[in-house]
Each structure stands twice: as structure tokens, then as C-alpha cells.
Amino acid sequence: MSEALPDRDARPDLIRALREGALAALIAFALFLPLIGFSTVQNMRNEIVLEARWQLLFTLVAVIAGIRFLSTLLLAPWAERRAAAAALTKREVPPNGVAQVWRAMAARWFAPLALGFVIVYPPLVLGLNGFQGAAKWIDNFGIQILIYVMLGWGLNIVVGLAGLLDLGYVAFYAVGAYSYALLAQNFGLSFWLLLPVSGILAAFWGIMLGFPVLRLRGDYLAIVTLAFGEIIRLVLINWVPVTGGYAGISSIPRPTFFGIPFNASDEGFAATFGLPFTPIYRTIFLYYVILALALLTAAVTVRLRRMPIGRAWEALREDEIACRSLGINTTTTKLTAFAIGAAFGGFAGAFFAARQGFISPESFTFMESAVIVAMVVLGGMGSQIGVAIAAVLMIGGTEIMRELDVLKAVFGPDFDPTQYRMLIFGAAMVAITVWRPRGLISTRQPSAFLAERKAISGTLVREGHG
């Protein structure tokens, strides 16, 4: 009979935890032996030889076994006790508890505070790090993250609002970048003129893609959009006379400060304003340009959500057949979502080309599309703040990993944390699907209200089907 009763002795728990840990170690060993245990390296005579990495392999296996052991021994019983306690006290939580007030405060003030922070970010970094150290923080962190925030917000219109899964979004980013690069180089047109042109061209390609795929839904749509992304990339690689193929396009004209170039010449920005020359001015200027572009994307999306077209997008995501029964032309509704999403991708692409000064098909691989889709899904489809947070975590996290020299002390001097980026992405995706299947911010804000704006639980909101 003692079998049936939950045994709270430490001993059986310990044995169970040891068994679980050993099992995890076994699985990890079997999995990692071919993947991590061996590595191919070239020796002096250019021969490829197999090199065993026992230290790394056993470290990882030990870490995994340890985590499993500890989680079985300590974490699982603790979570169980907590769940039991929570079930008991559930009804006693007052409706206006401290936690709820805090949550309401956070929801109210997060966006304005975040906006204030990104506006003062460049001077802040400049003050903390000086001219030499600040460039990295403004460029690699600030501009890089903001480009992805903008891409995430652009794709959010297609995936989050209209519910159309687009796995080839990077194609529009590429169209924007190459439009700017080619037109600026061959015709000498300015950045500010070409920015809208790039957006329009990307929107045009959005419609071109939209037309044939409108009948497709769900997985089929995802596959075709993925293929479209690859087609654009392959065209860029193979159309060598125009795009330069793998070599890409270099020395793309950089944006000017309303006609004043950022260089060391007498007409340059620094000389005009009587400042000592440093490249940081351009970086700061670019930072504010991409910030303005990202905010434009957000503002347009917020505005459109309250317009009939935005409501039609969301209605389309909820139920396409009901939409048609209400006289909504689903074809044009989908096309506008594709076109507007693509236009913002094009803007971001033009900015990317102008910032880098060099572009090649390498920058527009499927990986980029996957990262942008991951940001939208992790952030919570349709939620602007959620997508922005996901972009900061994912892109900022990658950049931070480059800075983590501490890890070299643990894993050896050859350890490069950025190589584990995909592993961490994967783990983050698994974690989010387990704990927050609807993304970081899963509630939906209604676009209109009679008496009171109440957030809608993510469990009611559909994810779209095509």
C-alpha cells in the first residue's frame, strides 16, 4: 500500500533524480557525440583530419545531467508545492492587489519610458563611453536593433494583423536595399528621394507576390513566400551585370545631413558646425533616421488599425468567410497588407544599404526572414511592444554574446559564444511555446470601444490560417 501514497522521504527522490540525471546524460552523450564530440580540422598539409573534443563534450553532458538532476530533485517538487499553494489561495487574491496595480502601471508607462530612453540613448552612451567607445554601442546595438524593430513591425502587419504567414519577408528588405544602392550609384539620386522610391518598389513586389499566392492558405502560403525570398536572393546572385553577384555593390553613397556630407572636408558636417571631425556624427545621425523610420512604421500601424482597412485585416485573420459575407473584398485586403508590410521592409532595406555602404546577397538569406518571423511570434503576434521587446532581446542578445569574454574562461579560449546563437534561438522558441504560446504580450487591444477599453485575452484571438 505504501506504493500508492506519495513518499516524501528524501531518499526515493534522490534516487529518482539520479536516475533522471543519468538518463539525460546518456541521451545528451548519444546526441552530442557526433555533433560536438568530433570536429573536422585542416592540418598543415591541407588534409582534413578528425579531432576529438572530449573536454567540451563531457562538460556539456555534465552540465545537462546536472540541470536535469537538480530540476528533478529541487525544482519540480518546488513548482508542485507552489501550484498547490496557488490553487488554495486563488480565491483570496483581492481584485485590486498590489501586483495588479503594478501591472497596470507598467502597461501604462512602459511605452513612453522606452521611447524617452531611445531618444536620449546616443547622448547618454556618448557621455558614458566617450567618442571612441560610443560608436559600437550606437551602431551595433542601437541602429542594428532599430532596423530589426522596424522589420518586425513591418512584418507584424502581414503576420500579426492580417494573419498571413510570410516566410520571405527578407525579399522586400533586399528589394529596398538594392533599389537604393543601384539608383543612388547609377543616377546619383539622394537618399531622401530614394527612400520613398525604395518603399514603393518593395510594395510593388509585395503586390506581385501577393497576386499569385492569394488563393493559398496556411502552410502552402508559407512555402510559396519562402520560395519567393529565395528567388529574389538567387536573382541577386546570378544577375551579375546589374547586381554584381556575390561581390555585391560597394561604395554606395551615404546619406547627407540635408545636403551636408559627413566627411572631413571643408564642406563636411563637422567643419560646417565648427566641430572637430569624428565619424560618430554620422552614426548618431543614422541612429535618429532609423528611429524616426521605426516610429513612422509604428504610428502608421497604430493609425491603420483604427481604420476600416485595419479592422478588415484583423477580421480576415479571425474569419475569412465571415469577412466575405460582409462584403469585404478579401483579395484587395490581403494585397494591401502585403504591400504596406513590404513597403516598410523596403524602407528598412534602403536605410540598411545607406548605412552599410556595401550590400551583397549574403545579407538577405532565409535566416534573416526566420529571425524576423521569430521576433513577431516571440513578441506576440499583433503586439507592437511585444515585437520591439523580442527584437531587443534577440538582436541585442546576439550582440551581447560577442562581449561575453567571461565564457572563454569556462569553456576554453577557442569558445565563440556567437556560434551558439542558433542553439539559443531554438531554446528560446521552445521555452516560449511551452510557457507563453501566444508570445510575450499575448493580449489584444481593441481598436474601438463604447465605455471602456478592455484588453482581449490571447486565447480568444485567432492566429490566422492563410
Residues that bind other proteins (CB under 8 A): 300, 303-304, 307-309, 311-312, 314-315, 318-319, 321-330, 336, 444, 446-454, 456-457, 460-462
Nearer to other proteins, 103 or 453 (CB): 453
Nearer to other proteins, 146 or 337 (CB): 337
Residue 446: Cβ within 10 Å count: 14
Nearer to other proteins, 217 or 311 (CB): 311
Q: Are 22 and 65 in contact (CB under 8 A)?
A: yes
Shortest Cβ distance from residue 456 to other proteins (Å)? 5
Shortest Cβ distance from residue 329 to other proteins (Å)? 5
Shortest Cβ distance from residue 311 to other proteins (Å)? 5
Shortest Cβ distance from residue 330 to other proteins (Å)? 7
Q: Are 317 and 399 in contact (CB under 8 A)?
A: no
Nearer to other proteins, 9 or 452 (CB): 452
State the cell numbers at 115. 521611447
Give the C-alpha separation, 1 to 177, whole Å: 72
Shortest Cβ distance from residue 332 to other proteins (Å)? 10
Q: Which long-range contacts (CB under 8 A, 24 or more apart) does 310-315 make?
A: 310/161, 310/447, 311/447, 313/157, 313/161, 313/162, 313/163, 313/337, 314/161, 314/162, 314/382, 314/447
Shortest Cβ distance from residue 180 to other proteins (Å)? 25
Q: What's the Cα-to-Cα distance from 198 to each of 40, 46, 176, 177, rounded to whole Å?
A: 44, 46, 5, 8
End-to-end CA distance of the chain: 55
Nearer to other proteins, 282 or 305 (CB): 305
Nearer to other proteins, 324 or 408 (CB): 324
Residue 203 burial (CB < 10 Å; 0-12/13-18/19+)? buried
Q: Are 305 and 161 in contact (CB under 8 A)?
A: yes
Give the C-alpha separation, 316 to 337, whole Å: 11
Shortest Cβ distance from residue 306 to other proteins (Å)? 9
Nearer to other proteins, 36 or 200 (CB): 200
Nearer to other proteins, 73 or 165 (CB): 165
Shortest Cβ distance from residue 325 to other proteins (Å)? 5
Nearer to other proteins, 278 or 332 (CB): 332
Shortest Cβ distance from residue 422 to other proteins (Å)? 33
β partners of residue 260: 257
Shortest Cβ distance from residue 292 to other proteins (Å)? 18
Burial 36-59 (b: 16+ CB within 10 A, else e): ebeeeeeeeeeeeeeeebeebbee
Nearer to other proteins, 101 or 299 (CB): 299
Nearer to other proteins, 7 or 319 (CB): 319
Q: Which of 221, 77, 90, 114 is nearest to 162 (CA)?
A: 221
Shortest Cβ distance from residue 445 to other proteins (Å)? 10
